Amino acid sequence: MSAFLNIRDSSTIIQDMPSHPAWYGEIRGLNAEKLFRGKKTPYLYLLRTGEKSTGFETDFYVTFLLPDFSIKHQPFIVREATKGWFFENGGHYIGESIDEVIHLIMHCRKEECVPLSKMG
């Protein structure tokens, strides 16, 4: 299933991702896990690059703490379309930014999502 979003520029999601407070770029899964050591906040998350990028789709991962404090690496694919973008792992309506959909990808409530900022 896919969720579709109408936005002005279909590439906005891809361009905006590196400026997100939880963006860690090309960090490997094991290194991402190390950043969560000692953390006790369910749904604390970071965003990172995935395995491939083509002309119309880009892979990403959201790495996050589950309520039992285990770590999950959830891949998701963003596909660009003429009227916006959609992510492959959903089936829900999504908003205009990654912040509007991250809870859908993580399967939690929107208010539970806490970005792991590089600043904090």
Q: What is the pLDDT of residues 16-69, one digit of tens each?
A: 789 999 999 999 999 999 999 999 999 999 999 998 777 667 889 999 999 999
In residues, how long is the chain?
Answer: 120
Strands (E), the chain: 3-6, 44-53, 57-65, 71-81, 84-87, 114-115
- CB 93 within 8 Å of CB 12: no
Structural domain boundaries in the chain: 3-115
Q: Report residue 33 as tokens.
A: 């896990």
Distance CA 101, CA 90 (A): 9
Which CATH architecture is the domain 3-115 placed in? 2-Layer Sandwich (3.30)
pLDDT band at 112 (very low <50, low <70, confident <90, very high): very high
